[in-house]
């Protein structure tokens, strides 16, 4: 996933529902905590923060398959 790109939700995950559109504002890895962090903003400029823990099997299953949950929209897509 790329910062600044827009994605549509393909499968319900966390507080995100199918069909919602989000822009990835920030993402990163905090080595001390072993967490992958994502900050999305929706069409109303509300932030949604997602934390996936590296020591949690379910979280890592999601992290490895993010493309199952989010699809990048074309830069030419009219919203």
Q: Which two tokens stand for residue 73?
A: 């929209």
Residues paired with 70 in a beta bridge: 9
| Alpha carbon separation from 1 to 45, 49, 72 (Å, rounded) | 19, 15, 8
d(CA 43, CA 24): 12
Whole-structure pTM value: 0.81
Q: Which two tokens stand for residue 6?
A: 């827009």
pLDDT at residue 74 is higher than 90: no
Mean pLDDT computed over every residue of the chain: 90
DSSP state of 73: P
Q: Which two tokens stand for residue 75?
A: 């830069």
At residue 79, the pLDDT reads: 53
pLDDT at residue 14 is higher than 90: no
């Amino acid at each position: 996933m790329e910062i600044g790109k827009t994605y549509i939700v393909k499968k319900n995950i966390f507080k995100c529902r199918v069909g919602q559109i989000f822009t990835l504002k920030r993402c990163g890895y905090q080595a001390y905590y072993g967490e992958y962090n994502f900050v999305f903003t929706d069409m109303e400029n509300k932030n949604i923060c997602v934390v996936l823990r590296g020591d949690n099997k379910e979280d890592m299953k999601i992290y490895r398959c993010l493309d199952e949950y989010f699809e990048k929209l074309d830069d030419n897509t009219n919203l």
